[in-house]
Amino acid sequence: MERGRENGLLKISELAKATGTRVSTLKYYVKEGLVQPVSKTSHNMAYYHPDCVARVQLIKSLQRNHYYPLSVIKRMLTDSDADDAEIALLDVIHKADYRSSGKRYSFSEAVKMTRLSRDQVERVVDSALIRPETDGKRCTFSDTDIQVLLLIRRRIDVGIPFEETVSAFRIYLDSLQSAVQSDVDAFISSAMMVRMPSTEEAVRMITVSDDTLDSFIKMKRQELNRVYGSERLEDLTRFSRDLGAALERIADFLNETGAADDAERCRRAIATEPEENGEIALRYYHSVINSMRGKLVTSIAVCSQGHTYFCDLRVEREVWNEATILPLLLHYAWMRLAPSLLDGSDYADASESALRSVARGSRKRTPDTGIERFIETVKRIGDYHEQ
């Protein structure tokens, strides 16, 4: 009989099986001093007391249910004075979640529960929105990880693109990481170190701090959503007004250069939708100018579609000539007046350059001064409405 067997001691493989823990994890616990063998018969053979089963299960519970790091767990296991108050303090510091089942879910289970693809789950992990545990090649997810994935699934189900959700969650996570770190440091230095509260007082202080900050963040996020949401709606209204004014200026410019028919088409497009086979750019102008009379979602969609159309237009000098200057005028005004959310400044610079190039190469009487006057007029339209 092997030495150690006669006292009911366990090999590390048996301890792993009894606790549902990987051998590699147990070896890490041993290395960190959380679990100690009773005897070691050789370099590669050690035996553990049966009490280690409960100890390992406690370590895992403190990690999963209380979120304690191993350094804190080691201190608790070696501190005979760790009473209920001390544990309560550690709980509020590490945000113990007693609603959590403590269960771990495999990658396949996470995919099945959330109806996300494997690639999507991997993308969320790579973005650090969740931090599953890894043990070798095995990856397991907590209840919180699953809840985050379900939030993403919920957004997808109502039509919010997956990548937009990952980006939005990442924006908030980045901001929260910085805010939380600064808050914790400030709280410790100004509230904990100065007052030197008792353990019970510290629990109450941290609990109230967490509750009030959670409420404050929720209230302020709603308030800021109202503010910025209203600003974006005003941007849409301003864009509609600006395009109407710009179309009038385009008509004036065309009249000055003898293109009366094109000028009339522009003026008609303000109130009357161009024919189906008419100028596509003018149709988008008409739609945005009159978009405030329709549904909001339609207005937003029309702006997006129109912007995509103008972004796809080429504005190189050789593409344009005086006979086709109307699309270039429309392109410049759209891009110069587009809301910041659409960001057409680079495109506007390109079409502005093309306009000047067309004017310089014109064989008709389209002097540079006329182009410059038109360019400055469009800029003034945008500047006026931004005030």
Distance from C-alpha of 155 to C-alpha of 340, rounded to nearest angstrom: 26
User: H or E stretch including 40?
Assistant: strand 39-42
Candidates 92, 62, 96, 64; CA nearest to 184 is 92
pLDDT on residue 276 = 63
pLDDT on residue 322 = 52
User: H or E stretch including 121?
Assistant: helix 118-126
pLDDT on residue 5 = 54
Distance from C-alpha of 210 to C-alpha of 148, rounded to nearest angstrom: 20
Distance from C-alpha of 291 to C-alpha of 306, rounded to nearest angstrom: 12
Distance from C-alpha of 60 to C-alpha of 18, rounded to nearest angstrom: 13
pLDDT on residue 360 = 74
pLDDT on residue 112 = 96
CA atoms within 13 A on the CB side of 300: 8
Distance from C-alpha of 234 to C-alpha of 339, rounded to nearest angstrom: 10
pLDDT on residue 98 = 58
First to last CA, the chain: 91
Query: What is the CATH T-level fold of the domain 5-94, as seen in this structure?
Result: Multidrug-efflux Transporter Regulator; Chain: A; Domain 2 (1.10.1660)
pLDDT on residue 341 = 86
DSSP 140: E
pLDDT on residue 83 = 63
Distance from C-alpha of 127 to C-alpha of 165, rounded to nearest angstrom: 11
Q: Are 19 and 56 spatial neighbours (Cβ–Cβ below 8 Å)?
A: yes
| Rg, Å, the chain Cα set | 33
Query: What is the CATH T-level fold of the domain 105-196, as seen in this structure?
Result: Multidrug-efflux Transporter Regulator; Chain: A; Domain 2 (1.10.1660)
Q: Which two tokens stand for residue 359?
A: 């004017």
Map out the domains of the chain as residue ranges. Answer: 5-94, 105-196, 229-386
Candidates 234, 230, 229, 236; CA nearest to 291 is 236
The pLDDT profile of the chain, 387 residues, written as one tens digit per residue, is 455 455 678 999 999 999 988 888 898 889 888 898 988 877 778 899 998 998 898 888 887 777 777 877 887 777 655 566 777 777 777 666 656 666 789 999 999 999 999 999 999 999 999 999 887 678 899 888 999 999 999 999 999 999 999 999 999 999 999 999 999 888 888 877 777 788 888 888 888 999 999 999 999 999 999 998 888 889 989 999 999 999 999 999 999 888 899 999 999 999 898 876 568 899 999 999 998 777 888 888 899 999 999 998 876 655 555 556 888 899 999 999 999 888 888 999 988 988 888 777 665 545 567 889 999 999 999 775 454
Q: Indicate whether this model's pTM tops 0.75.
A: no
Q: 296-312 vs 199-256: helix axis angle to the nearest 10? A: 60
Q: Kindly give, in sequence order, each residue whose CB lies less than 8 Å from that of residue 379, ignoring residues fewer than 6 positions away.
A: 336
Candidates 100, 34, 29, 105; CA nearest to 66 is 100
Q: Are 22 and 12 spatial neighbours (Cβ–Cβ below 8 Å)?
A: no
* Pairing outcome for strands 105-106 and 138-141: antiparallel
pLDDT on residue 96 = 61
